[in-house]
Structure 1
Amino acid sequence: MKQKTIYTLIILSLILIPLLTMSEFRLSLLSKFLVFSIVAISVNLLWGYTGILSLGHGVYFALGGYAMAMYMKLQSQPLPDFMEWSGIEVLPWFWAPFKYFPSTLAMIIILPVALALLVGIPLFKSGTKGVYFTIISQAITLIMSILFVGSQGFTGGSNGITGFDGLFGLTLHDPILIKILYLLVVAILIGIYFLSKFMLNSHGGTIIQAIRDRETRLRFLGYKTDSFKIITLATSAAICGIAGALFVPIVGIISPSIMSILMSTEFVIWVAIGGRATLLGPIVGAILINYAKTSFSESMPEYWWYFYGFLFIAATIIVPKGIVGTLLEKKWFNNTFNKLKNE
């Protein structure tokens, strides 16, 4: 019990030290990395534990982001400027729910989940799996990106939605709002981590891991594996949408580039390098890779993508189970981790 208290104090210190020591810019950057950690958890839930590789999670992330951006835009302008430029004089009906914060919070989850169900139900019910699902998820990402770019008057087109006055009466550059967003992101990340842990330790969690390892045998035992896959995809999409909503006030913009195939591929790379099918792996991978990306792009921008490619290849060859997955195979680390977990 005493050791648990010590570990809790260490975790609280790690949370509070950046809050007290970092500049607003660096704290905002850290908040963005933690948002990406939430995305990585959602991807890992589907890929690492269920065995379904999606290269379309950028869409779910963007839908949550657009929902929050629409709310923030309407708080500053009753009719967004890009609509006026396109000759639209009346706010479209589907923008109306985003005038209010409670309905916006609902849409942040409803929109990604609705798309996930629209994609997952017909695909999984028809038996689509493996690389076929991955290819279709890419195609959907491309379609949605083209749709958002082409709908200039409704979505801001390729420029996306920006020009927000602020949130909750505070400007986006207000130090108080930056600190509030940091604490909010930390709280949601911790909550989603423990929610994922609870789900994976439940009977349903055992089933989805069995789907990854032996789906045919599970079907033979009478389980409707397609239903479990649909639920997991919807849950993963909801988590991704929440991350997208947190991303917008931190960065100050959302655009169709966020839902690109490249962005979705980056999500997968974070999970692979951090450690697929581990709870901490996606968090470690997202923070380390984005920190390295920021550092290298600041000092050597022309070489960053070469380093990124090398890092992914090296990680695949040297640590195929990711950083955390490889560490868990080490006896000394595993014993320490299990001792910490059981105390």
Structure 2
Amino acid sequence: MSDKSNNDQGSGGRPPGAGKSWGAGAATGVGSMPGGDAREAAKTVTGSLETLPYLPELPSRGPGADMIGRTTGLLVDVYAHVEPSGWRISDRPGRDTKRARSWLGEDLDALEEYTQGYEGTLKVSAVGPWTLAAALELRGGEAALGDAGACRDLTESLAEGLRNHLADVRRRVPGARVVLQLDEPSLTAVLTGHVRTASGYRTYRAVDRAVVEGALRDLVTVAREVTGEAPVVHSCAPGVPFALLRRSGFQGISFDFSLFTEREEEAVGEAVEAGTALFVGVVPGTDGPLSDPAGSVMGVRTLWRRLGLAPGTLAESVVVTPSCGLAGASPAYARAALAHCVRAAKSLADNPE
């Protein structure tokens, strides 16, 4: 695991995980929350997560509040509207774009209200360029993913939109260190050629890994320029490309730990040694019984021992999260799940061995 690419953003000789703005023993959520009350969601998130709160998404409000819709509202000079098949690129902003921007403004107002005087790390999320390209349809009904020029245009538009969005969040919460999370659940399908066309009878050609990495690097650069922080990236799909994401410069990789397999261990070990944080989804995202907090992270401890990593780096390198978003949970369970993540993270800090 000592063979690191010259392109790595690595730790520069620091211990793995050292220097992260959220500190050791942190917990956070992935993004979505249940219900449609922005103030209640912001109150829950900021009240539950002292060291790494985040801007909640409330997709149950409908199109425009979902992760794709919210991100289309951030785009610059690219617009989208809802069709029965999903989101489709438009010539001009319409009702759906205006609704997406309005709901994001409402969410930001609520977050600003509940972070008065806050000084610490704050996470905000947007869909990454490849999941966006797989989800957004061109005017003919096929995904933007099938058009290399459209993918480049989307990436450039998203970069400018994120530049504006991150600057706005920094103005609203001036004491925060803002960290961007890019959601890329379709990334593995994009890399392996498993994104289906509109007909469903064939799939789009796999995108070259260098092209994928280049687009991600561009957005990492934008986030660094605006916030001073490299972003994190999230995927709740199987087969997360850990090595590619590490090389792209993300400071953290968020994934569903229940989908993690032995064949990914070496890439994860290299990422940790290079200073990349792991946001491990170990708490179920839908209602159900919760184990004791220490039991929730037992698999992470076992992985650490198997990789031969120093126990003392565990709490510095790992952030505990739900397995994915909490939109499908009840409000009571969502609160309990976030509190459980906090306790599980504390158990890693209190008992590193």
Check whether TM > 0.5. no
Point out which structure has higher relative CO (alpha carbons under 8 A, 6+ apart): 1
Larger helix fraction of residues = 1
TM bucket (normalised to shorter chain) is under 0.3
TM-score by length of 1: 0.28
Q: Which has the larger radius of gyration?
A: 1
